[in-house]
Amino acid sequence: MSRQKRQFSNIIYLLLFIPFLYIIFGSEYVYAAEKSVNRISGSNRYETAIELSREGWPNGAQTVMLAVGDNFPDALAGAPLAYQLNAPILLTNRAYLPADVSHEIRRLGAKHAILLGGESVISKKVASTLQKMGLTVERINGRDRYETTIKIAERLTGSPETAIIAYGNNFPDSLAIASYASKQGYPILLTEKHDLPEAIKQFIKRYKNTIVIGGEGVISKNVMTQLPSPIRISGNDRYGTAAKVVEKLHKDELNQAYVATGAAFADALTGSVLAAKNKSLILLVENENVPADINKVIDEKKVEHFAIIGGESVVSNSVVRMLQLDIASLISTAKSFIGVPYVWGGTTPAGFDCSGYLNYVYEKHGINLPRTVADIWKVSKPVSSPAVGDIVFFETYKPGPSHAGIYIGDNQFIHASSSKGVEITSINSSYYKTRYLGAKRVF
C-alpha cells in the first residue's frame, strides 16, 4: 500500500473512531432530554370536554355520553361504558344543552345519546333538545348514586369477574382507577364509608373479585368484609392512591400519560376515556405542584410525554415546568457528586461551596440560578411543602437564608456541607431542624 493510501486510511479510521471515543469518554455526565408536554383545554370544563372529543374522535362517533358538569356522583362510573361504546363523554348544564356542546355532537355525527343521571340531574329539556337533533336518547339512572352505578354496570357487555369499589361521596379515587377499569371492562361501583349499600351488596355477588380504591379513611374494614376477595389499593392521600393504582395495576412502562387536577372531577372524568383509548392513564396533580408520589411513578414508568387536561387555572404552568424537567435525572446528577469536598467559592467538581453546588447541578438541567443563597431565596417561588427537586433553605452562620440544599424526598436533602462536602442530610437532624426556613421552587 502506498504512503498516500495509508494516510487516507488513517484519516478515515480517525473520523470513525474519534466520535466513538467521545461517546464513551467525552462527557462525564449524561443528562436526559426535556420531556414533552402539551395541553388539551378550552375556556371552561365544558369546552375542555369538547376539545378532548375532537382529539380522540376526529372522525366522529355513533354514541355520545352526557354527564352534568357541576356534580360528580352519577358520572363517576360512566367511563367503562363510554370506552366500550367508543363514546366521548361531554358535559352539559342540568337545565339546558350548551350551544358549543350541541355543535360538537353534530360534528361527531352521533345518532345515540346516553344521559347519566335522572331528571333532577339532567333535565327533560336536555333530552328533548337531543331528540330534536335527531338522536335517540337513553337515560341511565337509579334511585341514588349507588343504584346508578349498578345500572351502568348492567349495560356493560362481557362477563368480567372483577369489580371496582370506590367511595361514593368524593371523586378522586374513582377517577384514579377509571382508565384502567375501562380498558379491563370492569364496572365501577360506589359505596358508603362504613356500610355497603344494600343494592350494591346484592349486585356484587355476581363477581368473584373486587379491587377497593382508597384507604380506611374512605372505605372501612367493615365494608371490606362484605366484598368478594377484596384487594385494597391506597396511599396517604388522593395523589398517593392514584400513584399506587399506576404502580400496582399498570405493569408496563408508559410512553405517554394524561395529567389532570385532583381537586375537581370534570377534566379527569372526560379525559379518562381518551386515556383508555390510547392505552394510557390519568395522573392526578395539584394546581401548582406534581406530588412526590406522582413524580416517583413517572420516573418508575419512564413517562416521557404528557398531555395536560384543562387550562392554567386548574393545572398551572408550574406543573408544566415540573413535568418537563427530568427530576430523577436532576437528583441523579446531584448524587453523583457525593464526597466532593467543600471549597469556599468553589463552583466545580474539584470543590463546591453551598451555592456553587446548586448552581452547577441545576445548570446541567437548563436552570440558571443566582450565585448566592440569599439571591436564590429572593428569586425562587415559595411552596407549602417541599417536593423532590425543590430547594430547602436554612439560617446558619448569619441571619436570613445562608445555606441551602436540594430536597430528595423522605425529609432528606443533598447539599455541600462546610464540614463534610457534598452529602445527604435529614432536615430533622439536630442541627438543621431548628434552622429550617422553608422550601422554594426554581423551575
pLDDT of the residue at 233:
98
Residue 280: closest CA among 56, 44, 110, 95 = 56
The domain that holds 402 is classified in CATH as: 3.90.1720.10
Final residue before a domain boundary, out of 324, 343, 369: 324
Question: Could you tell me if residue 8 is inside a domain?
Answer: no
Length of the chain: 443
Count of structural domains, the chain: 2
Question: Could you tell me if residue 11 is inside a domain?
Answer: no
Q: Same structural domain for residues 89 and 179?
A: yes
Q: Same structural domain for residues 290 and 171?
A: yes
Residues 309 and 259 sit within 8 Å (Cβ to Cβ): yes
Stretches where the chain sits below pLDDT 70 are 1-34
Residue 329: partners with Cβ closer than 8 Å, 6 or more residues away: 31, 32, 365
pLDDT of the residue at 326:
86
pLDDT digits over 307-349, tens only? 999 999 999 998 998 899 888 889 999 999 999 999 999 999 9
d(CA 303, CA 417): 34
Final residue before a domain boundary, out of 293, 324, 355: 324
pLDDT of the residue at 251:
82
Q: Same structural domain for residues 182 and 316?
A: yes
pLDDT of the residue at 34:
63
| DSSP string covering 358-386 | HHHHHHTTT----SSHHHHHHHSEEESS-
Its domain, for residue 414, covers 330-441
Q: Same structural domain for residues 308 and 353?
A: no
Biggest alpha carbon–alpha carbon distance for the chain: 95
Q: Same structural domain for residues 242 and 361?
A: no
pLDDT of the residue at 255:
86
Q: Same structural domain for residues 307 and 360?
A: no
pLDDT digits over 42-58, tens only? 999 999 999 999 999 99
Residues 256 and 283 sit within 8 Å (Cβ to Cβ): no
Residue 364: partners with Cβ closer than 8 Å, 6 or more residues away: 29, 31, 330, 333
Spell out the long-range contacts of 197-201 with Cβ–Cβ below 8 A and sequence spacing 24 or more: 197/144, 197/146, 199/142, 199/146, 199/147, 199/150, 200/146, 200/149, 200/150, 201/226
Final residue before a domain boundary, out of 303, 324, 345: 324
Catalytic residues: 354, 403, 415
Q: Same structural domain for residues 340 and 213?
A: no
